[in-house]
Structure 1
């Protein structure tokens, strides 16, 4: 990397072209600085846990995994609570919203502190997902769980941190998707990709196929068609599944791919959380030129993820995202099949 062209995350955000006002950009810079501080601490903790696994004959165990989850959660909460612009936070690890200020006139920050923590024992990738929702129009009064439930289209920024061979941050402030790498020598995230554009056609898909016997017919038909070696329509897709959402989405963004977590008969409402997993990822995927949808539980029809109004802080949904053409094809299949084929319509 040319030292003369090195651009830190903070510098990039301060000079980036955006439709946001200068005040909003200033707020985003402050909040992203707080997120940076937290994820650097989390990155070191993940590396230390990996070292313990490498130099011991046994497993790190559920206790260590839980400690990492708690550390990641508390680190993010402590760092973000120092930002006067943030009035409330929502996290996978906390049952209720974390209200910092009684007057809801600031930003809402959401996060999944440590995605894939169950994989630490085998040294697989982990991640942190975050989203920043625009300032609430409500002023005065008390913040409640109800007014924390925001649509994904109200995000002003989102991203994830991928703890792998290097610590990467992929993020967007609504003007494309950028990638940064943590330079541990200087302790800064440096820009390495100014614009990530997901290929419109996917060469691979990520889904837990062990659940295929409990999928709906549309999902089964789609997966069988995209991997069919006799297909005249496309080259057969390859299956690539890590089991950490951040890792699977990261690969899909860079090389083209599908990340699918469909409804299943034993989990018709889906598994991944809308507010702090699906929305931030869907925001990134759309900014990169991809597509993301879910299935509406009332109509049984596809719906853009970013338009879904949450009904619960920890609401789960079926989630389909990735390369535009292939996700659009799957979406049309659900449209054509109608609600009778949707497991969501049977809730």
Structure 2
């Protein structure tokens, strides 16, 4: 019987094409896959094992943590910290970067992760996910500092997410090698390649934005959404559908599957809080931007390309507009007008 191409097989074959590859990256992806399989199991069991609900604590952003936020963060650290593939870790759920135990072997990579994106949805059984970003550690560094993590998104070696929905899917992209989708076959516990070299349609008739913030939007965003809502009778001459899941992994996965544009723009409410945006550059915007661009889409703050931004802090927030290339470019042009 045909097994298919496993995640491990795919990474090994890819590394054979890279001069000087040691297999360490393959090991790291396997570590991440193990963490995602465990998280998938926890999400699927939910209330059966008492992991839903609030943890009674807040993360560094001041957001109430769900029990699974805390548990999945611990799962990711356990899966990655002791196998000699990383030099350090950074999590959206932790104030500071995570320093490996003194006796843990060191690797040549740094990993940043959001262990459970969209966790506000978990109690109502809506899709959630894990997001990760992989960068090279500076040569010889065994105790990385925060500054070692603050690299522009274009310097990511790879990025990906795992979606926990009706099926568990891992999507990852590496620089100049496209975006790939793998589906977890739970019968024998392997991620199998199901969509290779994913490409996002350049045009779309679907957009995603939190419309409850419409009274705070800047004029370029309001103009874009108003034109979409005007449909065939408006300046765009066609009807649009609006979507909003409140889980970035679910939103991006839909865009990769059938096109669309996702917006969490800068608005007056965020400005009043002295926030540069809603989403985190290092844990959400950068990894998702690499995936989207490798799939032929575009990603921007509305004013600049996300992957070229120089990070200022490990928990920095930025506006995000990503998806089908022509729609993102239209939004950028509106910001420039």
Q: Is residue 214–residue 264 contact of structure 1 (8 Å, CA) maintained in 2?
A: yes
1:182 aligned residue (178, 184, 195): 184
2:129 alignment partner, SS class? strand
Q: Is residue 171–residue 181 contact of structure 2 (8 Å, CA) maintained in 1?
A: yes
Deviation digits for residues 285-308 of structure 1 (CA, Å, limit 9, x no counterpart): 00000000115xxxxxx1110111
Q: For the residues of structure 1 that align with 2:30 and 2:15, how far apart are their CA atoms?
A: 19
Note closer, same or farther for the CA distance 1:8–1:104 as it changes in structure 2 (3 Å cut): closer
Residue 241 of structure 1 corresponds to: 244
1:191 alignment partner, SS class? strand
Residue 62 of structure 2 corresponds to: none
Deviation digits for residues 194-240 of structure 1 (CA, Å, limit 9, x no counterpart): 12100001221111010010011111001111232213534222001
Deviation digits for residues 287-337 of structure 1 (CA, Å, limit 9, x no counterpart): 000000115xxxxxx11101111111100001110000010111111122x
Identify unmatched segments of 5+ residues in structure 2.
Answer: 57-64
Residue 10 of structure 1 corresponds to: 8
Q: For the residues of structure 2 that align with 1:116 and 1:141, how far apart are their CA atoms?
A: 32
1:228 alignment partner, SS class? helix
1:195 alignment partner, SS class? coil
- 1:228 lines up with 2:220 in the alignment: no
TM-align CA RMSD: 2.3
- 1:281 lines up with 2:288 in the alignment: yes
Q: Is residue 280–residue 317 contact of structure 2 (8 Å, CA) maintained in 1?
A: yes
Q: For the residues of structure 1 that align with 2:237 and 2:328, how far apart are their CA atoms?
A: 14
Note closer, same or farther for the CA distance 1:170–1:279 as it changes in structure 2 (3 Å cut): same
Q: TM-score, normalised by structure 2?
A: 0.89
1:161 alignment partner, SS class? strand
Q: How much does 1:4 deviate? A: 2.3
Q: Is residue 126–residue 165 contact of structure 2 (8 Å, CA) maintained in 1?
A: yes
Q: For the residues of structure 1 that align with 2:167 and 2:47, how far apart are their CA atoms?
A: 13
Note closer, same or farther for the CA distance 1:28–1:234 as it changes in structure 2 (3 Å cut): farther
Q: TM-score, normalised by structure 1?
A: 0.87
Note closer, same or farther for the CA distance 1:15–1:204 as it changes in structure 2 (3 Å cut): same
Q: For the residues of structure 2 that align with 1:207 and 1:50, how far apart are their CA atoms?
A: 30
2:270 alignment partner, SS class? coil
1:291 aligned residue (294, 298, 319): 298
Q: For the residues of structure 1 that align with 2:142 and 2:170, how far apart are their CA atoms?
A: 36
* Mapping for residues 32-51 of structure 1, pairs under 5 Å: 32-49=29-46, 51=48
1:264 aligned residue (250, 264, 267): 267
Q: For the residues of structure 2 that align with 1:141 and 1:35, how far apart are their CA atoms?
A: 20
1:43 alignment partner, SS class? helix
Q: Is residue 104–residue 143 contact of structure 1 (8 Å, CA) maintained in 2?
A: no
Q: For the residues of structure 2 that align with 1:187 and 1:141, how far apart are their CA atoms?
A: 33
Q: For the residues of structure 1 that align with 2:219 and 2:261, how far apart are their CA atoms?
A: 18
Residue 30 of structure 1 corresponds to: 27
1:227 alignment partner, SS class? helix
Note closer, same or farther for the CA distance 1:142–1:79 as it changes in structure 2 (3 Å cut): closer
Residue 329 of structure 2 corresponds to: 328
Q: Is residue 131–residue 249 contact of structure 2 (8 Å, CA) maintained in 1?
A: yes
Deviation digits for residues 28-65 of structure 1 (CA, Å, limit 9, x no counterpart): 21101000111111001001115579xxxxx9432497
